[in-house]
């Protein structure tokens, strides 16, 4: 029996601890997240709740949370925050770490292929671990930006999120994907490579190219994740050399993120 891959487990622990390091000395949890409605305290409280939820799912609990749509998840987030008023950064730091550890402890005794029903639909336990890392990194980035502190995203952590990104992509298509037909060869610089093929209003994500790609996109790791999570745009990344593209239809590259609604 295999469990969650060790690199994902390591990323769960490291990311939770890096977020806690941001929160412990924080004197004002009411600081707003740039470009968002949440404060640092609300984002941290959300992480505590989400980590606890994913630990429960890893342990086999059935915990419905929205229906996978952006609106239902936003409503579930708002309701859970209202029911959990804790905003002390030090308390929240402890909760983020404690529930992250609870996740890996619960997952350690179960097979990586164990099916789990998550807020973004069914996935296996290993992918749930990848989801947890991606979720923490996204909100950890927000908290770091609000506090004007260095973020915790690095290439190893990004690599741990790729299974989740691959699983989520077909589930979060935007209206722009309707009628779109193209094959994308996506590469994380120094890391993973996979293909995304659009046809008939759907997207198929595969570890190998099904044929010739229309465009190859290579992204620097941090940029890859921030765009996937809706924290950055492709246009700015291309201008800074963080994304390179070539192939038969290189003009498809800048609009690629618009084919999805970031989870």
Mean per-residue pLDDT, 56-81? 91
What is the pLDDT at residue 238? 84
What is the pLDDT at residue 73? 92
A 10 A CB-CB count for 196 gives: 21
H helix intervals, the chain: 6-23, 40-58, 70-83, 89-108, 125-147, 155-168, 221-228, 234-239
What is the pLDDT at residue 19? 98
C-alpha to C-alpha distance for 148 and 169, rounded to whole angstroms: 30
What pLDDT, in 10s, does the model give residues 203-250? Answer: 999 999 999 999 999 999 999 999 999 999 888 888 888 999 999 999
What is the pLDDT at residue 204? 98
C-alpha to C-alpha distance for 140 and 247, rounded to whole angstroms: 35
Residues 6 or more apart from 44 whose CB is under 8 A from it? 19, 23, 29, 87, 89, 92, 93, 96, 139, 143
User: What residue has token string 């996109």?
Assistant: 217
What sign for the dihedral angle of Cα 111, 191, 167, 92? positive
C-alpha to C-alpha distance for 214 and 236, rounded to whole angstroms: 22
Angle at 81 between CA 76 and CA 86, to 5 degrees: 160
Hey, what domains does the chain have and what are their CATH numbers?
6-159 (1.20.120.450), 172-259 (3.30.1050.10)
Task: Name the CA dihedral angle for 88, 36, 140, 121, rounded to a multiple of 10 degrees.
Answer: 110
Which of 2-11, 96-105, 178-187, 220-229 is least confident? Answer: 2-11
What is the pLDDT at residue 155? 97
Is pTM, for the whole model, over 0.85?
Answer: yes
Mean per-residue pLDDT, 19-25? 98
Residues 6 or more apart from 174 whose CB is under 8 A from it? 258, 259, 260, 261
Q: If you ran DSSP here, which 8-state letter would residue 204 be given?
A: E
Whether the pLDDT of residue 1 is over 70: the answer is: no
Q: Is 224 left (phi over 0), alpha (psi -120 to 50) or beta?
A: alpha
pLDDT tier at 2 (50, 70, 90 boundaries)?
Answer: low
What is the pLDDT at residue 167? 98
What is the pLDDT at residue 190? 97
Mean per-residue pLDDT, 139-149? 98
């Amino acid at each position: 029996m295999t469990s969650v891959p060790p690199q994902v487990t390591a990323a769960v622990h490291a990311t939770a601890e890096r977020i806690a390091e941001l929160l412990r000395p924080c004197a004002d949890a009411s600081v707003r997240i740039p470009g968002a409605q949440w404060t640092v305290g609300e984002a941290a409280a959300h992480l505590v709740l989400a980590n606890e939820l994913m630990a429960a799912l890893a342990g086999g609990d059935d915990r419905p949370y929205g229906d996978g749509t952006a609106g239902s998840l936003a409503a579930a987030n708002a309701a859970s925050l209202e029911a959990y008023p804790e905003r002390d950064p030090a308390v929240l730091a402890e909760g983020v770490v404690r529930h992250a550890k609870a996740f890996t402890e619960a997952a350690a005794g179960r097979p990586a292929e164990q099916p789990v029903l998550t807020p973004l639909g069914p996935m296996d336990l290993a992918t749930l671990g990848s989801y947890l890392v991606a979720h923490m990194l996204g909100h950890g980035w927000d908290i770091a930006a609000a506090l004007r502190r260095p973020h915790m995203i690095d290439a190893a952590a990004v690599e741990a999120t790729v299974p989740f990104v691959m699983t989520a992509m077909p589930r979060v298509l935007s209206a722009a994907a309707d009628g779109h037909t193209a094959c994308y060869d996506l590469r994380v610089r120094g890391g993973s490579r996979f293909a995304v093929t659009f046809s008939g209003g759907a997207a198929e994500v595969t570890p190998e190219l099904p044929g010739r790609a229309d465009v190859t996109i290579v992204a620097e790791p941090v940029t890859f994740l921030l765009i996937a999570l809706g924290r950055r745009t492709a246009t700015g990344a291309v201008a800074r050399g963080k994304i390179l593209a070539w192939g038969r239809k290189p003009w498809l590259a800048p609009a690629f993120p618009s084919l999805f609604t970031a989870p």
